[in-house]
Amino acid sequence: MDVARVAQPDRARMMARFLDTLRKRGWQPAVMIAYGVGLVVFALAFANFYIPGKGFTYLMSFGSREEARRIDALKNLNYHVQSDSDGYDAQYYVQIAMDPTLQDPQLLTAIDSLPYRARRILIAWTSHVLGFGQPEAILNVYVLQNALTWFLLAFTLWWWFPPSGWSNFLRWIGVLFSFGLCVSVRNSLVDGPSLFLIAFGVLLLESGRRWGATAVLALGGLGKETNLLGGAALVDWPQDLSRPKRWPVLVAKGLLLVLPFALWLWYIQVTVGPAADLGARNFDWPLAAYGRKWAEVWTGLGQAESWRQGWINCGPLWSALMMVTLTVQMLYLLLRPAPSRAWWRIGCSFAVLMLFLGDAVWEGYPGAASRVLLPMQLAFNVLVPAGRGWLPMLLLGNLTLLAAPAALEPPMGDGYKINGTEALVAQGENGRFRVQFGREWYQPERRGERFWRWSRASANVTLVNPHAFPIEADLTFILASLEPKQVSITRPDGEVLWRGPIGDYETPGAISDLRLAPGRNELHIHSQGEGVNVQHDPRDLDFQLKDWTLNLKPAPTDGAVLMGQSTVLGGADGNLTIVFDDGWFAAERQGSTYWRWSKGPAGIVLHNPHATTVPVRIGFVLNAISRRTVQLQLGDGTLLWEGEVASRQSARVELAQLALQPGANHLNFTSSLPPSGADNDTRLLDLCLKNLVIEAGR
């Protein structure tokens, strides 16, 4: 029997049954493909926000100006930080997620308004629980929840917008790729998950699961307080109001709706203080802030400055589209009442809310109103009748679709790259190694594997060493400018690290063995020129720093590297020190390799200033002038290591968990042969101790 011939008709029959099922449901294959393309486009757009080593934390919008206030749980995490920026709301919510019980006292200073932010606790709790209380996992879960709820919302919307025609596709994609929802994803805000909870609650309601709908909408109130307006869907107009027998059930639903939020407000009041803050400038008299926004938009559209970077970057234009869209939605809902429809009751509630929104919601380009009023967007798309006559209305109510590409524009990176061991880069007692750009710098840009920043004038860069000990960095970079000029890189004391001419070409540069003391290390890049403008770019462009790479490494002092936390390296009676006795020649160095030759038997004294023992880990490479056996002993004669070395036979030695007693601890090196001479060296040499690293407290 020919199996292939039998299988082929079976596949044909299965496909025929599948297409017949679609026809019975009214689904169109071409429209289904369009839905699938929409899902893929979003997945690819979201994937573009991934930064190696930092995950999707670009979407958290951490601002550099808030770094000093952040809680300790974030210190050693590798996340993207926007330079010269205050950041945005998610940076506060994710810190609450580290301790959603609000017991961490650091939250009071880390969060701009803890009682206000803490009201929106749902995403913080789900992040904490799904992240098992681990800071790095919490951070990752938090940032991924917007993407997850976006997909859940996409499939939930099939309840109202099945793939049965292109009108439904427009309504479906108009919600999912609206500017408000895209911004929620782009900045890891609570608006996207909130819209999903409202939509899922209405789906349960329309499926006859009224108490389930009430529970979901009540849960949504913990995500964002305005979600409680979704409770309008629970009032079955006019039956619930016209029949007194239904009033007890209606009251019970209302109590269930507000109870979780009310209890949480009480908890906030008891734990961190007054919870009645409505947010600065969030509300105003009816249409007052709305009118000011229109005036701002018209003024901006008439200014040539708004159009200098082309229409794609014209903020007032995108604001105008948002204002038209929201106005159309509001007027439709208010002028075409349909109180028997759950979505109208929700949409009308948010339309009324729109009238009272304050400047804080409208300001900026295009503004936060489009995401605050997302339920109104969905209600509008559900309620607008089908038919060609309503197509213009539907299009006007979904104009923010045009802004989706701008809202989901992929990240430009950091403008620099850091290489080094995890211990140097990420495990400092004061957090990770940081690079902070001054106010003179514009935001980073990139194309492919190349990355850069433009400066508007002479500029500063601060390298923050989080360790209690110095480290070193090798810097490589490229400098360029639009006009010829001289550029120098100096320390604050005037020490010149690099100097040279640059112009409209790439000038490579390098700084080797840059010593970075614990804390802040400032570099000043001085340009002997002024910024210039180019067509379609309103910025003053002075010079460009491109492909800047920092390679971190230990910083040796007199032939040794001493590492550890400040509490271990220092004490009330002095510092932990390393002293080479007279059996050693002076320290030498070439590049990243450093060493000392011994004259014969030689010793090292490690002084422990503490009253208790200090564990240390010692590592080094040992050579000799000729083949010989070497012993390393403690001062009391305890043998720590023995081995054979030669000029071309190195031994890598690791001494783990050696305990330093209080006071002087002697390490003595001896070899089986006397020292001897070497070519081109007048000294008599015995042992060569290379790259000695002592890690205290390990």
Residues 176-226: tens digit of each pLDDT = 999 999 999 999 999 999 999 999 999 999 998 999 999 999 999 999 999
What's the rounded Cα separation, in Å, for the pair 502 and 438? Answer: 21
Per-residue pLDDT at 310: 61
Q: Indicate the pTM of the whole model.
A: 0.76
Per-residue pLDDT at 279: 59
Name the residue with higher pLDDT: 175 or 681. Answer: 175
SS3 40: helix
Per-residue pLDDT at 277: 62
For residue 186, CA distances in Å to 101, 368, 406 come to: 27, 13, 10
User: Which residue, chain included where needed, has tokens 């930092």?
Assistant: 54
Per-residue pLDDT at 16: 67
What's the rounded Cα separation, in Å, for the pair 497 and 382? Answer: 64
For residue 284, CA distances in Å to 151, 279, 330, 363, 644 come to: 35, 12, 17, 13, 82
pLDDT in tens, 421-474: 888 887 767 778 889 898 899 888 888 788 999 999 999 999 999 888 999 999
- The strand pairing partners of 623, in sequence order, are 688
Closest C-alpha to 374, from 343, 350, 395: 350
Residue-range domains of the chain with CATH: 13-272+279-407 (no CATH), 417-553 (2.60.120), 560-696 (2.60.120)
Least confident interval from 359-373, 511-525, 597-611 = 359-373
Per-residue pLDDT band at 368 (split at 50, 70, 90): confident
Per-residue pLDDT band at 26 (split at 50, 70, 90): confident
Per-residue pLDDT at 239: 67
**Given phi > 0 = left and psi -120 to 50 = alpha, else beta, which region is 512?**
beta
Tell me what the mean pLDDT of segment 126-135 comes to. Answer: 95
For residue 202, CA distances in Å to 64, 211, 329, 343, 346 come to: 41, 11, 19, 8, 10
Continuous segment of H or E residues that includes residue 201:
helix 191-206
Share of the chain above pLDDT 90, in %: 66
Tell me what the mean pLDDT of segment 365-391 comes to. Answer: 92
**Given phi > 0 = left and psi -120 to 50 = alpha, else beta, which region is 76?**
alpha
Per-residue pLDDT at 490: 97
Per the structure block, which two tokens stand in for 200?
């899922």
The angle formed by the CA atoms of residues 92, 216 and 332, to the nearest 5 degrees, is 85
Least confident interval from 139-143, 150-154, 371-375, 526-530 = 526-530
Least confident interval from 93-107, 355-369, 603-617 = 355-369
Q: In the Cβ-directed half-sphere of 264, how many Cα atoms lie within 13 Å?
A: 25
Sign of the CA dihedral running 682, 688, 690, 695: negative
Residue 5 pLDDT greater than 80, yes or no: no
- The strand pairing partners of 455, in sequence order, are 441, 543
SS3 67: helix
Per-residue pLDDT at 201: 96
Q: In the Cβ-directed half-sphere of 276, how many Cα atoms lie within 13 Å?
A: 1
pLDDT in tens, 256-277: 899 999 999 999 999 987 766 6
Per-residue pLDDT at 656: 87
Residue 300 pLDDT greater than 60, yes or no: yes
DSSP 8-state secondary structure symbol assigned to residue 18: H
What's the rounded Cα separation, in Å, for the pair 596 and 604? Answer: 12
First-to-last alpha carbon distance for the chain, in angstroms, is 72
Q: What is the pLDDT of the chain when averaged over all its residues?
A: 89
Per-residue pLDDT at 24: 65
Per-residue pLDDT at 479: 96
- The strand pairing partners of 690, in sequence order, are 595, 621
Share of the chain above pLDDT 70, in %: 92
DSSP 8-state secondary structure symbol assigned to residue 660: E
Per-residue pLDDT at 412: 76
